[in-house]
Amino acid sequence: MRLVQLETDSNILLEKAEMAREKYRMHMVVANELSTRKEEVTVVTGNERILVCRDKTRADSDVEEPLIELIVSRHSAYVKDSGL
């Protein structure tokens, strides 16, 4: 996984994330906008853009928890499907 620099324009951010994913041949890139980086991030894959948000019903929640759950789930599926 490669993290893209913080960006303030969401269109530019997602373009950069997709370019980085292709350039570095990654399965996914986590793109985070400067103004909302603690609330939500976008995971860019080859065919999806997945918005990951913190649980706003819990005061102590952060965006990292659902992000890690998504990454672990996707990685586990990748390993299972590839027969590793």
**Tokens read off for 24:** 């570095």
How many domains does the chain fold into? Answer: 1
Rounded CA separation 84/80 (Å)? 7
Q: What pTM was computed for the model? A: 0.85
Instruction: Give pLDDT tens digits for 35-50.
Output: 898 999 999 999 999 9
The reported pLDDT for the residue numbered 3 is: 54
Determine contact, residues 52/67, Cβ cutoff 8 Å.
yes
pLDDT in tens, 14-72: 999 999 999 999 999 999 988 898 999 999 999 999 999 999 999 999 999 999 999 99
Q: Which domain covers residue 51, as residue numbers? A: 2-82
The enclosing domain of 43 has a CATH number of 3.40.50.10300
